Amino acid sequence: MEVPQPFQSQYYFLYGSLMDQSTLARVIKRPHRPELIPARIVRYRLKLWGAYPALLDGSEDAVVIGMAYEVRSLSEQRYLEAYESDYYVNSPCVIELEGGKAVVGRTFKWAVDQSLLRDGAFDLRDWQLDSIDTR
């Protein structure tokens, strides 16, 4: 029988609506805005699923810009996984943090039919404005 390992905090690379501190705080059920670190991942690309970005494997020179957040509990991890739904899979990646430090972390990659995706770019500011309009 496998013995469960204790949870260890680790960085998650966030690249869509979760780059918004208020949204992230609501998703992980924190009373305060969490600290985010500008970051990027290499060899990935984005497409759009409706208004939301979907992370896919990319060419060697492909770069996705986003934010890193240190997930500190199993409940935070589970809240993120529930938010991302079954359309995304929790995957390992190497995250380059602002300042040049690289860490092994995790991100959410698109997990279903790529024909559901279209070319386009996610703009956080546009998303935030649209979110305000729909409240």
**Average predicted confidence (pLDDT) for the chain:** 91
pLDDT at 3 over 90: no
pLDDT score for 75: 94
Considering only residues 111 and 8, tell me which one the structure prediction assigns the higher pLDDT. Answer: 111
Q: Contact at 8 Å (CB) between 56 and 114?
A: yes
| Domain at 10-134: CATH code | 3.10.490.10
pLDDT at 132 over 90: no
pLDDT score for 29: 96
pLDDT score for 20: 92
Secondary structure class of 95 (helix, strand, coil): strand
pLDDT score for 127: 73
pLDDT at 134 over 70: no
pLDDT at 18 over 70: yes
Least confident window among 33-37, 78-82, 123-127: 123-127
Distance CA 108, CA 15 (A): 9
pLDDT score for 126: 80
Comparing CA positions, the residue from 8, 12, 7, 9 lying closest to residue 80 is 12
Question: In the predicted model, what is the mean pLDDT of residues 13-34?
Answer: 94
